[in-house]
Amino acid sequence: MDTNRTLTLVPPVRLAGYGVVLREWTDADLADLVALYDDPEMARWTPVASPFDLEAARAYLAGAREGRAQGRKVQLAVTTDGVRPRGEVLLFLSGPDERDVELAYGVGPAHRGQGLAARAVRLAAEYTVRDIRPRRVVLRIDAANTASEAVARSCAFELADEPPVRRVSRGREIVLRTWWLPA
């Protein structure tokens, strides 16, 4: 594993297609971050703080900027107009194999059921394949998260034939299945 690998992305990253615009977070987005992440479903499936308040949003944004500066990850607001965040998609070097780029995503409660996650994942995956050129683009999803598995399938990801990845989130172990995007 190449532990010195980084995501070399020219800032600011802004991607448009499929009726969504993905852009980097700004300080003006703090209230929107709270609206997106202070939600029981987000708390259930993501490692973010819960409850997620303005202080948590500031810490989250600082962590996003630090990860970006280190070349470890980029966190993009999912918008339909380039302005108001409705969700997020993350691109980061995968812990199990840093030749892989892992995507993660979430859509705020007021914006679910509109196909935003699938459109954002499709756009981010195409960008990753074209511009970052990892060994694989992967998703790691809890088997009980049927909505995320449906997004994976709709974006042509396939369940990988490999052992689950175990992670600790807020003091509890979670078991994630790996989905990969065939070439």
| Share above pLDDT 70 across residues of the chain, in percent, rounded to a whole number | 96
Confidence of residue 1 (pLDDT cuts 50, 70, 90): very low
Just give the CATH number of 14-140: 3.40.630.30
pLDDT in tens, 97-155: 888 999 999 999 889 999 999 999 999 999 999 999 999 999 999 988 999 999 999 99
Ranking 54-58, 85-89, 95-99 by mean pLDDT, the lowest is 95-99
pLDDT at 3 over 60: no
- Residue 27 CB-density burial (10 A; 0-12 exposed, 13-18 middle, 19+ buried): exposed
Residues 69, 66: Cα–Cα separation, whole Å: 5
Please give the single-letter amino acid code of residue 3. Answer: T
Q: What is the pLDDT of residue 174?
A: 86
Locate the domains of the chain by residue range.
14-140
pLDDT in tens, 21-38: 999 999 999 999 999 999
pLDDT in tens, 139-157: 999 988 999 999 999 999 9
Query: 30 vs 183, which has greater pLDDT?
Result: 30
Task: Record the pTM.
Answer: 0.91
Q: Could you tell me how far CA 135 lies from the centroid of its own chain?
A: 18
pLDDT at 2 over 60: no
What are the tokens at 66?
């630090």
The torsion angles phi and psi of 175, rounded to 5 degrees, stand at -115, 120
